[in-house]
Amino acid sequence: MSATAFMFPVWVLAAVVIVGDGAKGECPFAAIFNFGDSNSDTGGLVSAFPSQSRPNGETTFGEPVGRFCDGRLVVDFLAQGLGFPYLNPYLQAMGSNFTTGANFASAGASVLRPINQVRPNGWLSPFYLQIQYDQFVHLKSTALELYSKGWFRDTVPLPSTFENALYTIDMGQNDLTAQLSNGIPMDQVSAQFPQVVDAIGSVIQALYTTGARFFMVSNMGPLGCYPAFLATSAPHNPNDLDSNGCLISLNQVVSNFNEVLKNKTFLLQTQLYGSSVIYVDSNSIKYQLWANGAANGFKSTTTACCGPSQGQYNYDSTVTCSNSAIVNGQIVSSTSCINPSSYVSWDGIHFTESANRFVATQMFSGSYFQPSFPITQMCPLSFF
Ligand SMILES: *[C@@H]1O[C@H](CO)[C@@H](O)[C@H](O)[C@H]1NC(C)=O
Ligand SMILES: *[C@@H]1O[C@H](CO)[C@@H](O)[C@H](O)[C@H]1NC(C)=O
């Protein structure tokens, strides 16, 4: 821990010399490279497998734009806060501009290789973490080659961008939920966490070897509060609910994952000389949405906004947001609620834009970074 604490100011000074151009003040970041799942997918999965319907995207974009949300994600608020356009997905073939970063995240992506993880009828994205890393390496080598030829300067990052970028990672949720859908008992799921976290650590180490120096690793959100898991589990386990209506046992499993992840990030900070590996406690921020939802303008915390308009949680795994199905001889459609901004959950699994804004605002206050990092003092972050 101390090595990083001492190294960090030196690194910031170096970065300011390289990046500082007046306009950005002393903010050291020239770009964001993001690795993740649907929590931070800005269109990767939909670029590979085109299909997404309304009402996704309705609040901010007016149409589906590849995000599993009514509007912006936390990574969108981060990009906006740093003065960048929204991150384009690496896989987006048309109109992409990677000068200020790229997004490798894919909805349904796991850390571990999906084929080893799901039973025959299960599904995970093929773009698991190692593939996302390979895509980054390819993007970087292509960018360096194009730079040396002087081509596409207005859409390709400069060579110096890579060492001055913020590398963000938010993964593991699909590894955990794949195990649960495979029927592995809750008390045995944690056995897999060291393997998942080691794979995350290996990718951070590999990125460091390419010259990456600044990492933010987000921990896992309180899945036990999400309407999708509540709808499946709560009716059979009424004694498993805490005072905020969340599943105690599932949230405990998430805490186990987060502890393993935190230990790994702390270890990496001592091992990767001259780097900053920040553990971001998003879980504590997100849990506030349930614990203090009303005080923050959220009237509905355990009911999904976009759903079949049925049941306490408004979630049915056979009729998820934007889909229709015939249930008991009747067509049931999952559509949006009237006022998404008063809901925490968009579709039972993902957050609404207004919940994401809350999370981003709290996150970049700096109080949830370990070790602490004064991002707002350095970068002109503002959220609206
Ligand atoms: C790509 O984005 C950069 C940074 O926002 C901008 O300066 C540049 O003009 C953009 N390129 C194109 C072709 O729009
Ligand atoms: C995390 O590290 C602490 C302190 O080194 C240790 O006591 C704890 O057992 C570790 N937990 C996990 C889950 O690895």
For the segment 61-76, what is each residue's pLDDT rounded down to a tens digit?
Answer: 999 999 999 999 999 9
- Residues 195-223, mean pLDDT to the nearest whole number: 98
**Cα 116 to ligand 2 centroid, rounded to whole Å:** 27
Residue 376 has pLDDT above 80, yes or no: no
Q: In this structure, are residues 38 and 168 in contact, taking their beta carbons and an 8 Å threshold? A: no
Measured distance CA(204)–CA(272) in Å, rounded = 9
Task: With a cut of 50, say whether residue 2 has pLDDT above it.
Answer: no
Res. 383 pLDDT band, cuts 50 70 90: low
Whether the link from the prior residue into 85 is cis, omega within 30° of 0, is: no
Kindly name the residue from 38, 47, 282, 334 that is annotated as catalytic: 38
Q: Which residues pair with 169 in a beta bridge?
A: 35, 217
> Mean pLDDT score of the chain, rounded to an integer?
91
- Under the banding of pLDDT at 50, 70 and 90, the label for residue 312 is very high
Fold of 3-295+351-378: Rossmann fold (3.40.50)
Tell me the mean pLDDT in the region 71-82. 96
Instruction: Write down the pLDDT at residue 5.
Output: 36
Nearest ligand to residue 270 Cα: 2
CA of 49 to the centre of ligand 1 (A): 26
Percent of all residues in the chain with a pLDDT value above 70, rounded to a whole number: 93
pLDDT at 384: 59
The pLDDT score that the predictor gives to residue 379 is 85
To test ligand 1's pocket by mutation, which of 87, 88, 99, 146 has the most ligand atoms within 8 angstroms of CB? 99
Segment 343-357 mean pLDDT = 98
pLDDT tens, position by position, 268-297: 999 999 999 999 999 999 999 999 999 999
38 is catalytic: yes
User: What is the per-residue pLDDT across 187-198, written as a single tens digit (0 to 9) for each?
Assistant: 899 999 999 999
First to last CA, the chain: 34
* Per-domain boundaries in the chain: 3-295+351-378
- In order of 165, 188, 278, the CA distances from 104 in angstroms are 14, 30, 20
pLDDT at 115: 85
Cα–Cα separations (whole angstroms), residue 322 to 146, 193, 328, 333:
41, 33, 19, 7
Task: Mark out the alpha helices in the chain (DSSP H runs).
Answer: 2-19, 44-48, 74-81, 129-149, 173-181, 186-189, 193-209, 227-233, 248-271, 282-291, 353-363, 375-378
* Range scoring the smallest mean pLDDT among 246-255, 320-329, 336-345: 320-329
> Does residue 23's CB lie within 6 angstroms of at least one atom of ligand 1?
no
Q: How far, in Å, from the CA of 226 to the mean position of ligand 2?
A: 27
The owner of tokens 């939802």 is 293
Task: Tell me the mean pLDDT in the region 250-277.
Answer: 97
**Per-residue pLDDT averaged across 118-122, rounded?**
81
Residue 87 reports pLDDT greater than 60: yes
Contact 263, 277 (CB under 8 A): no
pLDDT digit string (tens) for 21-46? Answer: 334 458 889 999 999 999 999 999 99
- In sequence order, what are the residues at sequence separation of 6 or more whose Cβ sits closer than 8 angstroms to the Cβ of residue 215? 166, 167, 168, 169, 204, 207, 265, 268, 275, 276, 277, 278
Residue 356, pLDDT above cutoff 70 = yes
347 is catalytic: yes
Helix (H, G, I), strand (E, B) or coil at 24: coil
Whole-angstrom CA distances from 175 to 119, 180, 216 are 13, 9, 20
Once rounded to an integer, what is the mean pLDDT over residues 246-250?
A: 97
Give the per-residue pLDDT at 306.
98
Return d(Cα 119, Cα 128) in angstroms, integer: 16
The DSSP string of 259-308 is HHHHHHHHHHHHHSTT-EEEEE-HHHHHHHHHHSTGGGT-SBSSS-SSB-
Question: How far apart (Å, rounded) are the C-alpha atoms in residues 137 and 182?
Answer: 33
Distance 154 CA to ligand 1 centre (A): 5
Q: What is the mean pLDDT of residues 236-256?
A: 97
Residue of the nearest CA to atom 14 in ligand 2? 260
Q: Is 109's pLDDT higher than 70?
A: yes
Q: Which ligand is nearest to the CA of 155?
A: 1
Residue 14 clears pLDDT 90, i.e. is over it: no
